[in-house]
Amino acid sequence: MRKLLLIFLLSLPAQLMAQGTVRLFGFFPEFQVGFKATEKLKVIGKIESQHGMAEKFEGKDVDVGYFHNLTDFQGFLGTKINPFIDIAGGYQYRVDSRGENSHRTIQQISILQLPGNYKIGHRIRTDQTYSAFEKNSYRLRYRMSFELPIEGKSLDPGEFYLVFSDEVLYSYQARESGIENRLVASLGHLSKGNQKFQAGIDYRTDRFFDPDLRHRSWFKFGWYLNL
């Protein structure tokens, strides 16, 4: 099963591009650091940024060229209800390439399941976005993730693992609703010093209620550090 999942992960970029519906492709680096402020309170800081490399509109040729899409600065305070349930609240400041910067408040609950030698994660999140350039936006999000070690029955330092997740988002803005889906497949490595590195494909579709359905594919790579 692990070999089949790895083959799927490596072939995913070619499958997505072969569909001929990908409108935007680029790079998506992110860095996250977390530490315990107290015995029960954890602080997490995160920076993520989207950098486009190719864009295609219906009936037009592919436009190849670099552009900065957005950069998000996030901060969270979280605590554990028990070993399997976390709750957190956070704030995000977004730097938009068009100059339409925004603020966002975030609330979430995370649930972890350990049915075997793999992990199943559930995350329910709500967020509210405020901007001087458009109406307030409100979203409800659910993400399910699946983490599987490639070697052995448990993940140890120096070993690789696979991560798959799917997130569905419902948004409401100015009396209009929207649906978005985010599918992520990544290869990760657990390093010494409580560090994780992940790289994979983040494939997003949105504007399901609009005639112009949007597709975005990002090559995503991240560094996650726990102090």
pTM: 0.88
Mean pLDDT, range 4-17, rounded to an integer: 46
Q: What is the predicted pLDDT for the residue at 3?
A: 53
**With bands split at pLDDT 50, 70 and 90, how would you rate the model's confidence at 21?**
low
Per-residue exposure over 76-90, b if at least 16 CB sit within 10 Å of its own CB, e if not? bebeeeeeeebebeb
**Quick one: fold of 2-226?**
Porin (2.40.160)
Span 163-209, pLDDT tens digits: 999 999 999 999 999 999 999 999 999 998 889 999 999 999 887 77
Which residue in 113, 208, 202, 198 sits closest to 166, CA to CA?
202
**With bands split at pLDDT 50, 70 and 90, how would you rate the model's confidence at 210?**
confident
Which residue in 5, 1, 2 sits closest to 185, CA to CA?
5
Q: What is the predicted pLDDT for the residue at 15?
A: 44
Q: How many whole angstroms separate alpha carbon 28 and alpha carbon 50?
A: 5
